[in-house]
Amino acid sequence: MNIIKIIPIMNLPIIKENDDLAALICEAAEKQGTPLQDGDILIVTHVIVSRAEGNVVNLDEIVPSEFAKKLAMQYGRDPALIEVVLRESRSIIRMGGGHIISETKHGFICANAGVDRSNVPGERNVALLPKDPDESARRIRRKIKDLTGRDVAVIISDTHGRALRRGQINVAIGVAGIKAIRDRRNERDLFGYTLRIKQTAIADELCSAAELVMGQADEGIPAAIIRGYQYERSEDSTAKDLIWPREKALFL
Amino acid sequence: MNIIKIIPIMNLPIIKENDDLAALICEAAEKQGTPLQDGDILIVTHVIVSRAEGNVVNLDEIVPSEFAKKLAMQYGRDPALIEVVLRESRSIIRMGGGHIISETKHGFICANAGVDRSNVPGERNVALLPKDPDESARRIRRKIKDLTGRDVAVIISDTHGRALRRGQINVAIGVAGIKAIRDRRNERDLFGYTLRIKQTAIADELCSAAELVMGQADEGIPAAIIRGYQYERSEDSTAKDLIWPREKALFL
């Protein structure tokens, strides 16, 4: 019987620009008695990645466009924040009920183009999504390998709302060392029936599992280890595998 | 440090109509050395619940309507299966690319109204969703309490595609003893910023976490225990909390 463990990484310092995230995570994991092991999956929330990468914007330095001002007025929101959301968007998918659902530069569809006000120090600072979250994940993965010799998959997570269900869950926006989707088409079930449609969004499920420990402390825990899950290794998988090609998307 | 464990329940027998699912699960959990404990969350896939409840239909006994025949022809699918999907649907949300996305009687939006061909014995048999999955969960929860004295939350899971992301994940369609959504609005973050929108779909995240062990064996594992997760107890929560009210749904 294979039990999977979700291990929170406690006592990370407040992450600042140019911090060596991989080193800080390895140290914290070591200190709490759960050093990273071969085959572990490390889940890291995008906000600390963005903070370490300096991908933070001060709203006081943003000059909002007329369109941003109009939307802000209509929604009762901060015009500078709306301006940043527009700048981070490749296209707007839906607007309504005070929400802007947009397609990010990377192709993810989420509220506010992933611009995040929470867990960012500085009252007027917001975190953008990492510029290339797959590359951020690969960098952390390589660094961990260098520091500890361990082969660890890394996933960068974000919190997304859903079109068809209420409530938010954590999903993957960057992956390294693991296949984001497990393709089970053509496998047979218990009774020999061939599975027709079954592509499991493993990377998203891992992020949702990690959220269970990340959300548990009041102050939030920005990283977690998933141990004991047998995954398909991949050096070229990308979180973009989790994006619908437009022609197949029934809801866009 | 609070580590969460995801424990597969191995060696359950093939579930048949009128089987006592709760008793079989308690027995299997006991036998493998992980008896259910107070505070555990038991995740059960809907297919074995439907099979135990006799909610299985033989396609040979279904007379397809003209509409079902037309769709089946168009999509290259079985007319009797399409007929069952239509009967299980309250409304059709999208049709395209060979898929029928419909709203089930309960209000869930998913492919084929949740009608499931896999893991159902009998070549022409399909499993419908349980008639009242919350009630199914409550029944299993009560029975476990009766049998073992343990206070266990129960969630019935299903595998759903997503509108905005590729790949399927497991989500909750019935809950008992646990709040489906954790409402974190008005909580403060690490730096004192008040969270504006944050309602975590805990029950869905728990199902996705459980899928990590459920999907691991080739033959599939229909139940899992999540241990060590601190959740909000509730006797009247329902998986319907995870359904968008129509007026707030931006994508319907």
Domain residues of chain B, as ranges?
5-54+130-243, 57-126
Q: Burial, A127: exposed, middle or buried (Cβ in 10 Å; 0-12, 13-18, 19+)?
A: buried
Q: Are B115 and B81 in contact (CB under 8 A)?
A: yes
Contact B250 A212 (CB under 8 A): no
Tens digits of residue pLDDT in B213-243: 998 776 679 999 999 999 999 999 999 999 9
The shortest CB-CB distance from B198 to any of A94, A168, A193 is to A168
Please provide the size of chain A in residues.
252
d(CA B120, CA B132): 19
Give the sheet arrangement for strand B169-176, strand by strand.
A169-176, A153-160, A41-45, A223-227, A4-8, B4-8, B223-227, B41-45, B153-160, B169-176
End-to-end C-alpha distance for chain A, whole angstroms = 42
DSSP-based three-state secondary structure for B113: helix
Q: Specify the pLDDT at position A73.
A: 94
Q: Chain-wide mean pLDDT for chain B?
A: 94
Tens digits of residue pLDDT in B60-93: 999 999 999 999 999 899 999 999 999 999 999 9
∠ CA B214-B216-B161 to the nearest 5 degrees? 60
Interface of A with B in 143-172 (CB under 8 A): 159-171
Interface of A with B in 233-252 (CB under 8 A): 241-244, 248-252
Distance (Å) from the alpha carbon of A251 to chain B's nearest alpha carbon: 6
More confident call, A192 vs A99: A99
Distant-in-sequence contacts of B58-66, Cβ < 8 A, 24+ apart: B58/B122, B58/B124, B58/B125, B59/B84, B59/B124, B59/B125, B59/B126, B60/B124
d(CA A159, CA A137): 17
d(CA A115, CA A198): 32
Contact residues, chain A, for B3 at CB < 8 Å: 5-8, 213
Amino acid at B164: L
Tens digits of residue pLDDT in A89-130: 999 999 988 889 999 999 999 999 999 988 888 889 999 999
Contact residues, chain B, for A213 at CB < 8 Å: 2-4
Contact residues, chain B, for A243 at CB < 8 Å: 165-166
Q: Specify the pLDDT at position B219.
A: 67
DSSP 8-state assignment for residue B179: -
More confident call, B118 vs A207: A207
Q: Specify the pLDDT at position B117.
A: 86
A57-126 CATH pick, 3.30.830.10, 3.40.50.300, 3.90.1660.10, 3.20.19.10: 3.90.1660.10
Q: Specify the pLDDT at position A120.
A: 84
C-alpha dihedral (B137, B139, B141, B144), degrees to nearest 10: -140
Q: Specify the pLDDT at position B235.
A: 94
In this complex, is the C-beta atom of A98 within 8 Å of any C-beta atom belonging to chain B?
Answer: no
Q: Specify the pLDDT at position A203.
A: 98
Q: Are B51 and B15 in contact (CB under 8 A)?
A: yes
Q: Specify the pLDDT at position A96.
A: 85
Contact residues, chain B, for A180 at CB < 8 Å: 167
Contact residues, chain A, for B165 at CB < 8 Å: 109, 160, 171, 201, 204, 242-244
Contact B94 A250 (CB under 8 A): yes
End-to-end C-alpha distance for chain B, whole angstroms = 42
Q: Specify the pLDDT at position A219.
A: 67
Q: Specify the pLDDT at position A69.
A: 97
User: Residues with Cβ < 8 Å from B181, sequence gap 6 or more?
Assistant: A166, A167, B199, B200, B201, B202, B203, B241, B242
Q: Are A236 and B200 in contact (CB under 8 A)?
A: no
Q: Is A238's pLDDT higher than 70?
A: yes
Tens digits of residue pLDDT in A56-80: 999 999 999 999 999 999 989 999 9
Beta carbon pairs, A and B, within 8 Å: 246
Domain A5-54+130-243 CATH superfamily: CofE-like (3.30.1330.100)
Q: Do domains A5-54+130-243 and A57-126 have the same CATH topology?
A: no
d(CA A109, CA B199): 18
Contact residues, chain A, for B242 at CB < 8 Å: 165-167
In this complex, is the C-beta atom of B121 within 8 Å of any C-beta atom belonging to chain A?
Answer: yes
Instruction: Kindly state the tokens that stand for A9.
Output: 């990484």
Range A129-133 average pLDDT: 98
Q: Assign 3-class secondary structure to B53-79.
A: CCCEEEHHHCCCCHHHHHHHHHHCCCH
In this complex, is the C-beta atom of B99 within 8 Å of any C-beta atom belonging to chain A?
Answer: yes
Contact residues, chain B, for A6 at CB < 8 Å: 3-6, 209
Tens digits of residue pLDDT in B155-212: 999 999 999 999 999 999 999 999 999 998 878 877 777 776 689 999 999 999 999 9
Range A167-173 average pLDDT: 97
In this complex, is the C-beta atom of B197 within 8 Å of any C-beta atom belonging to chain A?
Answer: yes
pTM of the prediction? 0.97
Report the candidate in B151, B176, B171, B174 with the shortest Cα–Cα distance to residue B160: B171
Tens digits of residue pLDDT in A13-34: 999 999 999 999 999 999 999 9
